[in-house]
Amino acid sequence: MSMNRRRFINLSGLGITGFTISGFTNPSHVMDQKPIVISTWDAGLNANKGAWEVLSKGGTALDAVEKGVMVTEDEISCCVGLGANPDRDGHVTLDASIMDHEFNCGSVAFLERIKHPISVARKVMEKTPHVMLVGEGAQQFAIAEGFTLESEKLSDDAQNAYQNWLKKSTYKPIINIERSNKPNAQLEDKYKAPTRFDNGDWNHDTIGMVALDMHGNLSGSCTTSGAGFKMRGRVGDSPIIGAGLFVDNEVGAVVATGQGEDVIRVAGASAVVEYMRQGKSPQEACKLVVEKIRRIKKEKAAAIQVCFIALNKKGEHGSFALHNGFNYAVQSEQGSNLIESPFSV
C-alpha cells in the first residue's frame, strides 16, 4: 500500500490530484448510484476493480466486498496481508471483519500465517454461531475450513521498516499522519507530530470497503495488519463490529482507518451510521464523529490520524479525516475515481 500511496503522491507532484482514472467524474451527491463501491486509500483503486467484477455482473455486495479486499491482501503492502509490517516481536498478526445487509457479521483478530483473513471472517459469519474468533483459535478454525498455513515471510519493505524500528525499539503506539497530497506549509508546522515519519515508513493502514449492489443491499469489509510494531496481542478497530465497520441496510455502511483505539472508544462506524439515520449526509456524519474524537483527544489529536468513509442507501458517499492526506477510491458505472478527503485540522 505504501508503494501505491507513493505512486499517487508522485502524480500529485505533477499537479494531478483527485484525478479520475476513467475520465468520468463520480460526484458524491449523485443519488441512486447502484451498484457502487468505495474503499479506503489509493490501494482501493485496485481493490474496487476486484469488487466491480462482481457488482457489474449483478453479484451481491457481500461477495464484492470480500473479493475486493482480497486483491489488497494479495498485494505487497506495508499494512495489509502477510507481507505487512510486523508487531514489535517481528510477527505479522492480522485483523479482519465483514458484515452483510442482514446484520450478519464475522471477524478474526490476532490471526497469524493465513493469507486471506477476510475469507476466514466470512466463514466465521456463515459457519459458526459466533461473531469473532481470535489468535490460535481463529487459526485452528481456518485450517479446519481448508485454509493453508503459510510460512511467515515479511516483504522487503516490511523487513526494512522493522529493522529501522528495531534500532530504537521505542514503543510509541501512535498512528502516523500521512504526507499531505497537497502540501500545506502552515499545517505541516503546526501539526508536526513527534512520531511523524520518524523513519519514513508508513506504520499503519487498512483496506476498508463498503458497497451497494444492484439489488439495493449494502455490505462492508476491512482487513489489516493494524498498527506496525504494535504490542504482541494488540487488536485494533478493524475486527470490532461497530467500531471499524458497521452496516445497517436501512441506512448505510461505514468503515474506518487510522488510530484504532480512538475509533473503538467512540464506536466510530456505528456512530456515523446513526448520524446518517438522523438525515446527515455521509460526509457530515463522518465529520461529526471525527470532530468528537478531536474533542476527546484534545491536543493529542495533533499526533494521530483517524478517517471514515460512508455510503448511504441512495449510493451517496463521503468521508472525513482528522488530518490532511487521506483519500478514498470510488467505482461505479460513472467510472473509477480517487477522492481527496476533507479533513478537520
Q: Are 50 and 68 in contact (CB under 8 A)?
A: yes
Q: Which of 40, 60, 206, 224 is catalytic?
A: 206
Other beta carbons within 10 angstroms of residue 11's beta carbon come to 15
Task: Looking at residues 200 to 229 of the shown chain, list those that interact with ligand ASP (rule: CB under 6 A).
Answer: 204-206, 224, 226-227
Which C-beta is closer to ligand ASP: that of 33 or that of 77? 77
Interface stretch with ligand ASP, choices 62-70, 253-261, 266-274, 282-290 (CB under 6 A): 253-261
Site membership for ligand ASP, residue 257 (CB under 6 A): yes
- Pick the closer one to ligand ASP by CB: 205 or 213: 205
Which of 68, 165, 85, 66 has its CA nearest to residue 123?
66
Q: Does 121 bind ligand ASP (CB under 6 A)?
A: no
DSSP 162-225: HHHHHHH------PPPPPPSS--HHHHHHT--TTTTSSS------EEEEEE-TTS-EEEEEEE-
Q: Which helix (H) or strand (E) holds 67?
A: helix 61-74
Residue selected from 258, 268, 315, 325 as contacting ligand ASP according to rule CB under 6 A = 258
**DSSP conformation letters of 138-154:** HHHHHHHTT---PPP--
Answer yes or no: are the C-beta atoms of 209 and 51 closer than 8 Å.
yes
Instruction: Identify which of residues 71 and 174 has a Cβ nearer to ligand ASP in the complex.
Output: 174
The window from 16-24, 96-104, 133-141, 255-263 that contacts ligand ASP (CB under 6 A) reads 255-263
* Nearer to ligand ASP (CB atom), residue 44 or residue 236: 236
Please choose, from the candidates 314, 251, 307, the residue with its C-alpha nearest in 3D space to the C-alpha of residue 39. 307
Q: Does 238 bind ligand ASP (CB under 6 A)?
A: yes
Active site residue 195: no
Looking at the Cβ atoms of 269 and 330, the one nearer to ligand ASP is: 269
**Rounded distance, CA 323 to CA 315, Å?**
25
Per CB under 6 A, the list member of 213, 237, 316, 340 interacting with ligand ASP is 237
When asked if residue 42 is in the footprint of ligand ASP (CB under 6 A), the reply is no
- Counting contacts by CB under 6 A, is residue 60 touching ligand ASP? no
CB of 93 to ligand ASP, least distance (A): 10
Q: Which of 30, 29, 22, 23 is nearest to 48 (CA)?
A: 22
Which CB, 227 or 302, lies closer to ligand ASP?
Answer: 227
Query: Which of 271, 253, 224 minimizes the C-alpha distance to 41?
Result: 224
Contact 104, 30 (CB under 8 A): no
CA–CA distance, 4 with 32 (Å, rounded to integer): 30
- From residue 298 to residue 337, what is the string marking binding to ligand ASP with x (rule CB under 6 A)? ----------------------------------------
106, 236, 318, 325: which one binds ligand ASP (CB under 6 A): 236
The number of residues that bind ligand ASP (CB under 6 A) is 14
Q: How far from 286 is each of 59, 165, 341, CA to CA, in Å?
A: 28, 33, 11
Instruction: Name the site residues for ligand ASP (rule: CB under 6 A).
Output: 175, 204-206, 224, 226-227, 236-238, 257-260
Q: Which residues are catalytic?
A: 206
